[in-house]
Amino acid sequence: MSEATRPATKSKVLEVRDLTKTFKVPAGKDGKTQLRALDGISLDLARGETLGLVGESGCGKSTLARTLMMLERPDDGTVSWDGVDPYTLGSKDMLALRRRVQMVFQDPYASLNARMTAGEIVSEPWRTHKTLYKSKRDRAARVRELLHLVGLRPSDEHRSPQEFSGGQRQRLGIARALALNPSVVICDEPVSALDLSVQAQVLNLLNDLQKELGISYIFISHDLSVVRHVADRVAVMYLGRIVETGPTETVFDKPLHPYTEALMSAAPTLDPSTRRTRIILEGEVPSPLNPPSGCRFRTRCVHATTECAESAPPVATEVPPGKSIRAELSEPTHVAECFHPRNSVALGIPTAVG
């Protein structure tokens, strides 16, 4: 996004601190049965902001999304939506809070019920949240408004999902996500199943909706070029932890963490002056059943030293030119968990990533 389209307000709609989530699984060869999918996740989301969430398959992105959607209960840590911890609420208040956080799923072919019409799909959330649009007339009018809002025709309400193209189906999924007037939409690989030309249409739609409605997005994607296009900030996940967070252009152009550096070296670019030498990571991602000691990335990192194995890495914070260290300490903008941060003179600062 350009500076002109970035949200003016910086108030936080979401704060996550030290979030952990463990699953019990059948014992492996080492006899361990506890899989720690999330291990101390901390992040913030500002109102009207898009936070890109990137990382390899199995790093915990989907588990984080399900936990933020209140579909999974964390083992430890806190989640705060506008200052409210959802896991302290009763069922009635929890239901009301769920309205404010919705999701757009990856596969527009599997996420829509083939036995329902478009109008029934969009209005289905109101069957649970009965306080919205109580009369049939109001619901019908709102369905047509939502279809128009996402670029479909109001008359499409009578069509079944099989009659739509992939891009149209994803627009329908977005309309359903907007039916409850959410403040945050979690987009889980929302364009990965679409052709490139259709991807651009859906991404532009999401951007237009954000400008019009002030929605915040958590945008999960493997496609770094898409993330660079849509996100204001980027959080990089590796093996259950967020290892780097910062403004999108800064993270792409001046990554601090060696893992981020490797990821960004693979990001396509049309500008020959910005192309990097491709960094090929050695080895496989360790099992979350038996993660490495100290830094999770050390077994694949060419910069790893003894201290990387002995203790958890500190949080390194880049101090941009022209800013004082004191100001940067109080409100970090680009941070990474690393003993040996790259591309910048960095400081070890004991503060949460977010």
What would the pLDDT profile of 15-35 be if each residue is shown by its tens digit? 999 999 999 888 766 667 888
Co-location of 198 and 289 in the same domain: no
Residues 120 and 231 in one domain: yes
Q: What is the pLDDT of residues 68-115, one digit of tens each?
A: 999 999 999 999 999 999 989 998 899 889 999 999 998 888 999 999
More confident residue, 171 or 317: 171
CA 203 to CA 200: how far, in whole Å?
Answer: 5
Mean pLDDT in residue range 108-134: 90
Structure tokens of 53? 């969430």
Residue with tokens 């030290």: 18
The DSSP output letter for 111 is S
User: 40-74: b or e for each residue (b if 16 or more CB lie within 10 Å)?
Assistant: bbbbbbbbbbbbbbbbeeebbbbbbbbbbbbebeb
- What is the number of domains present in the chain? 2
Q: List pLDDT tens digits, range 214-241.
A: 999 999 998 898 999 999 999 999 999 9
Report if residue 250 sits inside a domain. Answer: no
Pairing of strands 50-54, 76-81: unpaired
Vertex 57 angle, CA 272 and 248, to 5°: 40
Name the packing angle between helices 166-178 and 136-149 (round to 10°): 130
Q: Which domain CATH number covers 172?
A: 3.40.50.300
Q: Look at residue 160 and tell me if it is in a domain.
A: yes
The whole-chain average pLDDT of the chain stands at 86
In this structure, the answer to whether residues 45 and 143 fall within a common structural domain is yes
- Residue 251 in any domain: the answer is no
Domain that holds residue 143: 12-26+33-239
Closest by alpha carbon to 346, among 315, 306, 324?
Answer: 315
Domain membership of residue 182 (yes or no) is yes
210 and 337 in a single domain? The answer is no
Whether residues 200 and 309 share a domain: the answer is: no
Q: Please count the other Cβ atoms lying within 10 Å of the Cβ belonging to residue 20.
A: 16
Instruction: Tell which of 239, 268, 294 closes a domain.
Output: 239
Mode of pairing for the β-strands spanning 184-188 and 216-220: parallel
Give yes or no: residues 102 and 216 share one domain: yes
The DSSP H or E segment spanning 186 is: strand 184-188
**Residue 320, CB-side half-sphere exposure with 13 Å CA sphere:** 14
Same-domain status, 18 and 96:
yes
79 and 183: one domain?
yes
* Residue-wise pLDDT tens digits, 247-302: 999 999 889 999 999 998 877 665 666 666 778 788 788 888 888 999 999 999 98
**Confidence band for 3, pLDDT divided at 50, 70 and 90:** very low
Q: Please check whether residues 188 and 273 belong to one and the same domain.
A: no
In a domain, 248, yes or no: no
Domain boundary residue, one of 212, 239, 266: 239
Q: Same structural domain for residues 94 and 149?
A: yes
Same domain, 194 and 330: no
**223 in a domain, yes or no?**
yes
**Residue 288 located in a structural domain:** yes
Q: Are residues 235 and 274 in the same domain?
A: no
| pLDDT bucket at 319, cuts 50 / 70 / 90 | low
Q: Give the domain-ending residue among 207, 239, 271.
A: 239
Instruction: Establish if 2 belongs to a structural domain.
Output: no
